A and B are shown apart, each in its own frame.
Chain A
Amino acid sequence: MLHGKTALVTGASRGIGKAIALELARQGAKVAVNFAGNEEKAQEVVDEISELGSEAIKIKANVSQEADVKQMIKEVVGQFGTLDILVNNAGITKDNLLMRMKEEEFDEVIDINLKGVFLCTKGVTRQMMKQKSGRIINIASVVGVSGNPGQANYVAAKAGVIGLTKSTAKELASRNILVNAVAPGFIGTDMTEKLTEEQKDGMLDMIPLSKLGRGEDVAKVVRFLASEDANYITGQTIHVDGGMVM
């Protein structure tokens, strides 16, 4: 499905990003696995991709730093020759009640989760414009649509990503670069592990399908949006959330 394509997945050493990197590789894409801190985990993903019979490289970069991002994209294009698919997945949480949220907690989350998407998108646009094709898939979150107490920073960033997706889609449509967002709901990852049992139960009550999602559920939608089957879709946000937010 994606043979001959090349992809860069940010924050791909674990969680949803890892699932996406593996899924794209399974479809034949060469994958650049970006990570910020955990090189060992990133190497594991690279090794798994090799076992799947595809090609992968790992690249350390902080997506909120423009110099890092430029260097990363240069490396990907240098290694693979092209860059067809960007998946902006890297994200962090610093949950706190608004009243208690420190300015740094707000800024850090906005920097990685929103500015990072801007910088990576800007960075790949040149290459994709030259190729006259490209797919950008941003991992947002359904809380960016619904809001969530204790996550003012995260929600603001994710709502920002959805708006950024729409603007970018409109700007780049004439160059055959399609930009969409995937908004996961409650997916079982390290990030959701941090929630208390009480929070988890509360969330399950809100999910019509009454279960957590898996990274693969998100990865398969990303794979679809990256494929030729999604040629006529741009600027959209697709919820993968068991019906949690409609």
Chain B
Amino acid sequence: MADTFERVKKIVIDRLDVEESKVTMEASFKDDLEADSLDVVELVMELEDEFDMEISDEEAEKIETVGDAVNYINSIQ
């Protein structure tokens, strides 16, 4: 769903202070978007708030790219 991607993208841009063009489905948080591990934890927390859901620690650990986050959210909703 494009909508989920757009919402995730907005949070990523705000949180990590990166250029919009860098935030693609394939972009890795750590490698491409220069997030440290704490940034990723924070990002997941914000996604939980944005999408009103709980992402377990086990699932959160699997989220490495923007696409992982989008797909996970879509699979739940």
Interface, chain A (partner B; CB < 8 A): 126, 129-130, 171-172, 174-175
A174 touches B38 (CB 8 A): yes
A–B Cβ pairs within 8 angstroms, 10 of them: A126-B45, A129-B41, A129-B42, A129-B45, A130-B45, A171-B38, A172-B38, A174-B38, A175-B38, A175-B42
- Which residues of B37-54 are within 8 A (CB) of A? 38, 41-42, 45
Besides A129-B42, A130-B45, A175-B42, 7 other CB < 8 A contacts? A126-B45, A129-B41, A129-B45, A171-B38, A172-B38, A174-B38, A175-B38
- Which residues of B1-60 are within 8 A (CB) of A? 38, 41-42, 45
A126 to B45, CA, bound (A): 8
Contact partners of B45 in chain A: CB under 8 A: 126, 129-130
A130 to B45, CA, bound (A): 9
B68 to chain A, nearest CB (A): 21
A68 to B48, CA, bound (A): 21
A66 to chain B, nearest CB (A): 12
Contact partners of A126 in chain B: CB under 8 A: 45
Contact partners of B42 in chain A: CB under 8 A: 129, 175
A144 to chain B, nearest CB (A): 27
B33 to chain A, nearest CB (A): 16
By Cβ-Cβ distance, the 6 closest A-B pairs, closest first, are A129-B42, A126-B45, A174-B38, A171-B38, A129-B45, A175-B38
Closest to A132 in B: B42
